[in-house]
Amino acid sequence: MQILSQSQSHGGTQTVFRHRSAVCDCEMTFGVFLPPQAKAHPVPLLWYLSGLTCTHENAMTKAGLQAHAARYGLALVFPDTSPRGAGVADDDAYDLGQGAGFYVDATQEPWSRHYRMFAYVVHELRALLAEALPLNGSHGITGHSMGGHGALTIALRNPALFRSVSAFAPISNPTRSDWGRRQFSAYLGDDEAAWAGHDASLLLAAHGWPGDILIDQGTADQFLDQLRPEVLAGLIASRRQPATLRLQGGYDHSYAFVASFGEDHVRWHAERLLAA
């Protein structure tokens, strides 16, 4: 891994790395925060998956999670949201192509060569971090919007790999949303049966989750119709799935919303990861 930048932060270190990804067949960049506790012993890791148009940098600089992670002794990783580069397929729309990987492994051309963000997070980057950093093997995952979708679907499909999962304003039912149907059709093809493994509501209905789930959603979110939190809430109730879905009055879809409830989520993950 090549270090692009490194700074002291809250007694720990905030580093930005670049590496050649075999899975995505391009250079990938990600950020890692190591808390001060990592100097003495291995620590749990909390993944933060970002939303549409974001890079590794947005949450790293705007969400304010490092101070909370330092307090509780968690490492943080901020992956990019898609492969990037001159040879990577793209689209003029903001919600398809670079910056909009949707955490799926594309099967359709021209996307299938590079757009394999599910495998990148679950397998390649996880293994790379385990080898290079002082981590104890206990992982939690969270994310915002498209990243909330990614966090939920990746955790629901890999309960043995993640001990805790939460989300901020996730795209909850992408197979029935414009933030999902267009992208899944492009990346995965027109057979909607192939989409089900990337829809948190369908996965929860089919498999549940062995622990509890934390979700925050702003009531003034300008994208509520795309996010469809009511579908996920209904499934939580019908399955009697242990979960807390909080509607936060007046909050929109911005990083101000994420930063406002970031401490709650970091503490929530710490309670589960440190007790493991």
Instruction: Over range 48-60, report the average pLDDT.
Output: 97
For a pLDDT cut of 70, what percent of the chain falls above it?
A: 100
Q: Which pLDDT score is estimated for 276?
A: 60
221 is known as an active-site residue: yes
HSE, CB side, 13 Å, CA atoms: give it for residue 7. Answer: 8
The pLDDT-based confidence of 78 (bands split at 50, 70, 90) is very high
* Structural domains in the chain plus CATH codes: 2-274 (3.40.50.1820)
Three-state SS string over 1-30 comes to CEEEEEEEECCEEEEEEEEEECCCCEEEEE
DSSP letter (8 states) at residue 190: S
For the question of residue 56 being annotated catalytic, the response is: no
From the list 82, 145, 164, 201, the catalytic residue is 145
**How many Å apart are CA 58 and CA 76, to the nearest integer?**
14
Q: Which of 21, 221, 265, 269 is catalytic?
A: 221
pLDDT at 92: 95
Give CA–CA dist 79/60, Å, rounded.
10
Alpha carbon 72 to its chain centroid, in Å, reads 20
Catalytic residue among 198, 253, 265, 269: 253
Helix (H) or strand (E) holding 243: strand 243-248
pLDDT in tens, 220-248: 999 999 999 999 999 999 999 999 999 99
Residue 275: the pLDDT is: 85
| Predicted model pTM | 0.97
* 189 backbone dihedrals φ, ψ, rounded to 5°: 95, 180
**How does strand 135-143 pair with strand 164-168?**
parallel
Convert the pLDDT of each residue in 145-182 to its tens digit. Answer: 999 999 999 999 999 999 999 999 999 999 999 999 99
> What average pLDDT does the structure give for the chain?
97
84 pLDDT above the threshold of 70: yes
The answer to whether 139 and 162 are in contact (CB under 8 A) is yes
Active-site annotation holds for 82: no
Query: Token pair of 124, please?
Result: 């390649």
Given a contact cutoff of 8 angstroms between Cβ atoms, the answer to whether 146 and 179 are in contact is yes
